[in-house]
Amino acid sequence: MRLIVGLGNPGIEYAQTRHNAGWMLLDRLVDRLNAGGGQGKFSGQLWGPLSVGSERLLLLKPLTYMNASGQAVGEVARYWNIAPSDILVLSDEINLAPGRLRFRTSGSAGGHNGLKSVIAHLGTAEFGRLRIGVGGKPQGSDLADHVLGRMSPTDRELEERALQAAEEFCLLWLTETPSELMNQVNGFRCDNEDGQVRA
């Protein structure tokens, strides 16, 4: 069993904010896989198990706030006996520009409170994470205001292209090796000047 988790905050006021990039990507996967409405359980909304090729897949949106996201991840992983290496967490990343993506199989939370919570509840940092660039905060501004704010139309266009590519990368995660995936994802960028997507 594999598990893909989208991090975000519940509530209409947080919809389409930078911090909800993980939720936006998970929504795309739900639509792509015709997963239906999901079930409210395990402190989150859960879809599946879904059959994707030869794999069985669960999709999860924690319905706690970002800082407690790991509660739902831990509950689902324990119930289904899912190894951390079979989990992919989708999150926003302020240290990446809009239109950029980064994949890692382990590592620190990098200051991201949702990832900190997942690490705490799984008891390990050895799980996959796909980070979606949302850009850093302007000098002198508040970080919370930045991540809970919405992108400019230009940056939102870049993010939309990145989310479209990330949707494909999530499906490749089910079949390709981590090194193959890193080679594809970590070189990905959108070029807003000519409208092209490059990898």
Active-site annotation holder among 19, 112, 121, 146:
19
Burial class (CB in 10 A: 0-12, 13-18, 19+), 196: exposed
Sheet with 55-62, edge to edge strand ranges:
39-41, 44-52, 55-62, 2-6, 87-93, 128-133, 101-104
> Residues annotated in the binding site, as ranges?
14, 65, 67, 113
The answer to whether the beta carbons of residues 148 and 67 sit under 8 Å apart is: no
The answer to whether the beta carbons of residues 130 and 101 sit under 8 Å apart is: yes
> Residues annotated in the binding site for tRNA, as ranges?
14, 65, 67, 113
Rounded CA separation 41/77 (Å): 13
Is position 121 annotated as part of the catalytic site? no
Give the catalytic positions in this structure. Answer: 19
